[in-house]
Chains A and B, each alone.
Chain A
Amino acid sequence: MEIVILVFVVISALMAIACGIWVAIALGSAISKDDEKKISIDNEDP
């Protein structure tokens, strides 16, 4: 029983870390897309 509760807590901590990493990857992708857009907008501006 004790082990089960602790394993559950550890899995929750790992899930939270995984969510953080997932959002970090999405953030990197969003910023790089922004950079591409910025370059194209700058090129369009006279």
Chain B
Amino acid sequence: MSMVVPVAVVVAYLVLLTFVAVRARAAREFEEFSLAKRALPLALVFGSLAATYVGPGYSIGFVGRGFKNGFLFLGIGLAYCLQNILVGLLIAPRLRSLNNCHTLGDVIGQKYDRKCQVLAGIISVGLCAGFSAVMAKAGCVVLNDVFNLPNWSSVAIVVGITALYTTFGGLRASVITDAFQFTAFATLLPVTLLLVLVFHLKGGPATFTSQAISATTEGIKATPIIEIVGLVAAFLLGETLIPPYANRALASKTTQVSRNGFILAGIFSVVWFLVMISLGITARIVIPMDTHEDRVLLNLVRSIMPASGYALLLVVIVSVVMSSLDSLLNAGAVAFTQDIVKPFAELPNGRALNIGRAATIVIAIIASVGAVFVPGIIDGLLICYTIWAPAILPALVIGLWIKHPRPLAGILSTAAGTVVAVLFEFIIPDPLGIPAIIPAIISALLAYFLGHCFGNPKTSTEQSRM
């Protein structure tokens, strides 16, 4: 295939993206860098949330799963939809109604104490750097696959461009470019599906249904129940309120926008999963059955479209990667400034903004270096999910709902969740075939209960400081 058209389309897309990012204007103060002045409307909150969660896993990964397992993963994906809707109904409006909160660490600091905030900040920054490394790896894989570039230059292109507009524009630039990228992939991939259905579905609806049934049956037979339980737990809890999502809840214009943004993003996830899985099922009719899962989307588009169509797909995949990466870089930088630096130093607005920008660049560099060590895209994501949910969610969710949360409960829950997740993920993995996220969450909840029973309420000094 001639490389001229794909290269021209990708370059044109990157130029257009840079233009949109520049139009989003540079942040002038930290409030704008971290929360976009709390003025995001519903469509942008929704588009940005969806653009952030639709990463390589929910696009390339789901097409591959549809190819191998039919609609099995649609059932598992419903857990993700439920999670977003529950966050929208129960948590996002409560987050948005808190004053002076830029991050989840801030929320935890307000509810518990400064130590809990710093601990949550360290975990947030670490998680954002880890997720960013996974995204950098995904971008690297795509560019390598098409242009045969060396690894370092693929990573430098994807991370460099993303870090550039995120460093200057902060959350607003991230949300604006997310909306642009969302528009690109939310239209192009469904159009690809419609083209396959109209022009390449030999045998009509009956063929599609028979392929769907046989793939789903094969998937159910090949997947043990315990694995399905683990996947449902990971989809339900793993990505819940990770820093970029929490930032969007906090930056919404009103509590209603915050709630509806999450609910709509949840509903959209089902629509999206159905489209991706259907693409995978139709691919069974078009490409050889021994195609590797991660290659299904690329091979499907390559076999049914001309070079320009293939180039458009590249644009979609680059969008998918960059829209997740920019959100993670910004969330990590804001968490570093607000939760790790601010509790120990007085930060005037200008200095906080500069620290946030510097942190964006440092996290981007860490992600670029870390991309080399990422085992695989899905494996990398699952490691991040396994640590995030037990470490932060019990303390956060209970803290938002009970009247006088106790600092000891917050610290114990975060520490126990992190330690047990790391233990079962890395040191003694898979002892009973149970995914690490489940014992880690149970330990975090038990530790919270003990801390609540034996801990003291927040001191008056802490209360006045908050």
Contact = CB atoms under 8 A, between A and B. Distances in A.
A19 B44 contact: no
Interface in A1-46: 1-3, 5-6, 8-10, 12-17, 19-27, 30-31, 34-35, 38
A29 to B, nearest CB: 8
Interface residues of B, number: 38
B186 A20 contact: yes
Question: Which label, helix, strand, loop or mixed, suits the secondary structure of the A interface?
Answer: helix
A41 B194 CA distance: 46
A5 B191 CA distance: 18
Contacts of A22: 43
Interface string B136-172: 0000000000000000000000000000000000000
Contacts of B194: 10, 13
Given A6-B205, A10-B197, A31-B23, A26 B41 contact: yes
Contact of B176 (A6, A8, A30): A30
B419 interface: no
A2 B208 CA distance: 8
Contacts of B184: 20
Contacts of B190: 12-14, 16-17
Contacts of A13: 190-191, 193-194, 275, 278
A20 B183 contact: yes
Interface string B31-60: 000000000011110110010000000000
Nearest to B185: A20
B260 to A, nearest CB: 13
B206 interface: yes
B271 A15 contact: yes
B193 A23 contact: no
Given A3-B205, A23-B44, A31 B275 contact: no
Nearest to A27: B179
B179 A24 contact: yes
Given A2-B205, A19-B268, A34 B25 contact: yes
Contact of B183 (A1, A12, A24, A34): A24
A20 B206 contact: no
Contacts of B256: none
A38 to B, nearest CB: 6
A12 B274 contact: yes
B209 A5 contact: yes
Nearest to B206: A2
B70 to A, nearest CB: 11
Given A12-B275, A16-B272, A26-B41, A31 B183 contact: no
B125 interface: no
B369 interface: no
Contacts of B99: none
Contact of A35 (B23, B43, B204): B23
B44 A27 contact: yes
Contacts of A6: 197, 205, 208-209
Interface string B420-442: 00000000000000000000000
A1 B275 contact: no
A28 to B, nearest CB: 10
Nearest to A5: B209
B25 A21 contact: no
27 contacts: A2-B204, A2-B209, A5-B209, A6-B205, A9-B193, A9-B208, A9-B274, A9-B275, A12-B271, A12-B278, A13-B275, A13-B278, A14-B190, A16-B186, A16-B187, A16-B190, A16-B272, A17-B190, A23-B43, A23-B44, A26-B41, A26-B42, A27-B43, A30-B41, A31-B20, A34-B23, A35-B23
Given A19-B268, A24-B180, A31-B176, 17 more contacts: A3-B205, A6-B205, A6-B209, A9-B278, A13-B190, A13-B275, A15-B271, A16-B271, A17-B186, A19-B186, A23-B182, A23-B183, A24-B179, A26-B42, A27-B183, A34-B25, A35-B23
